[in-house]
Amino acid sequence: MQLNSQEIRQLIPNRYPIFFMDGVQDIQTDASISAIKNVTVNESFINGYLPGQFVMPATLIVETLAQAASIFILKSPMFQHKTAYLGGIPRAEFKKVVHAGDQLTLNINLKKQRQNIGIVSCVATVDSQVAVEAELMFIVEMV
């Protein structure tokens, strides 16, 4: 299943200036998601982080992974119409600098889940080179 940015906006609450998802290439319900983020020179953080270097802050790459994970979680029949929250970052490794003009490919895999809490394994790559690897813990509201 593919999703465009309009469809993604219906799932997650993020809006400009912290809406980083450009598309979803594939979702395997309760297993994985593959999504993309196009990094452009027009984004406010590009010029403000390291002036003149056009670099995406690593923390925002983690936020982008969290948004992809939220889409994945909220497409599960168990969590439709709920809100997912980032509960923690048990592990994150930053391996490559991401510049304006790069396209981040985000791959998220469900590692474990118990009721409304779980952990996903995340990898953000640029041209098949790993930029960030992380494990994120999520919590879904159960109202």
Assign 3-class secondary structure to 21-64.
Answer: CCEEEEEECCCEEEEEEECCCCCHHHHHHCCCCCEECHHHHHHH
User: Structural domain boundaries of the chain?
Assistant: 3-140
Give me the pLDDT at residue 54, please.
93
Q: How far is CA 136 from the centre of its chain?
A: 10
pLDDT tens track of the chain, all 143 residues? 899 999 999 999 999 889 999 999 999 998 999 999 999 999 988 887 777 889 999 999 999 999 999 999 999 999 999 999 999 999 999 999 999 999 999 999 999 999 999 999 999 999 999 999 999 999 999 87
Assign domain 3-140 to a CATH class: alpha beta
- The number of CA neighbours under 13 Å toward the Cβ of 142 is 7
What is the number of residues in the chain? Answer: 143
Per-residue model confidence (pLDDT) at position 106: 98
Please name every residue paired with 130 in a beta bridge, in sequence order, or none if there are none.
Answer: 125
The single-letter code of the amino acid at 102 is D
Q: What is the CA radius of gyration of the chain?
A: 14
